[in-house]
Structure 1
Amino acid sequence: MDGLVVIEVCANNRLTPEWLSEIEQRLPGAAVLETDCTNTCGLCQVRAFAYVNGKLVHDPDPAKCVEKIEDEARALLRWLTSSEDEKGAP
């Protein structure tokens, strides 16, 4: 079930590799992809951010950003793994 939710992070981001590996451990089904640049010029200089299945998630505080990333990823995982009768876009 790995990779249902892709968390894309710029290598210059304010999020540490430890935080990112913890996300993968806590959220089976999520995969963190670190890229050289996400073409979000300048954002990595002022706040922590990631793209969660293409949606920008950010916060000036890296710890709060990790919480927001995990919340978004959990919501997507619930939606992706729910039955057809329960589905409503997150």
Structure 2
Amino acid sequence: MDGLVVIEVCANNRLAKGWLDEVEMRVPGTAVMETDCVNTCGLCQVRAFAYVNGKLVYDAEPEVCVRKIEDEARALLRWLNTAEDEAGAP
């Protein structure tokens, strides 16, 4: 199930400096991808943020933002697992 939920962060963002290093271990099924730019001009200067499967998750405080990112990733994984169960997938 590796990389089922992608967390994308801009290299210039406050979260890129080690805040997301352990998210993949704490939330199995996630993959953190650091890119040069995610085309959200200016947001990285004022907010900690990342995209979780394309959904913007942000907060003024990096610690709070990481918790929100993990919560969003867990919710998506629960939803994906439920959808698989309903479809009869293994």
Alignment of 1:80 with 2:42, yes or no, is no
**Which moved further from structure 2: 76-85 or 60-69?**
76-85
Q: How big is the alpha-carbon RMSD for the aligned residues of Structure 1 and Structure 2?
A: 1.2
Corresponding residue number in structure 1 for 2:12: 12
- Residue segments in structure 2 that go unaligned for 5+ positions in a row: none
Corresponding residue number in structure 2 for 1:41: 41
Aligned mates of 2:8, 2:45 — CA distance in 1: 16
Runs (4+) of structure 1 exceeding 4 A deviation are none
Corresponding residue number in structure 2 for 1:88: none
- Residue segments in structure 1 that go unaligned for 5+ positions in a row: 86-90
- How far off its partner does 1:19 sit? 2.3
- Give % identity: 76
Count residues in correspondence: 85
Q: In the TM superposition, what are the counterparts of 1:48-67 in structure 2 within 5 Å?
A: 48-67=48-67
Corresponding residue number in structure 1 for 2:27: 27
Deviation per residue, 1:28-66 (Å, 9 max, x gap): 100000000000000000000000000000000000000
- How far off its partner does 1:18 sit? 2.9
TM-score w.r.t. length of structure 1 = 0.89
* Partner-residue secondary structure (3-state), 2:51: strand
* Partner-residue secondary structure (3-state), 2:2: coil
- How far off its partner does 1:16 sit? 4.4
- How far off its partner does 1:17 sit? 4.0
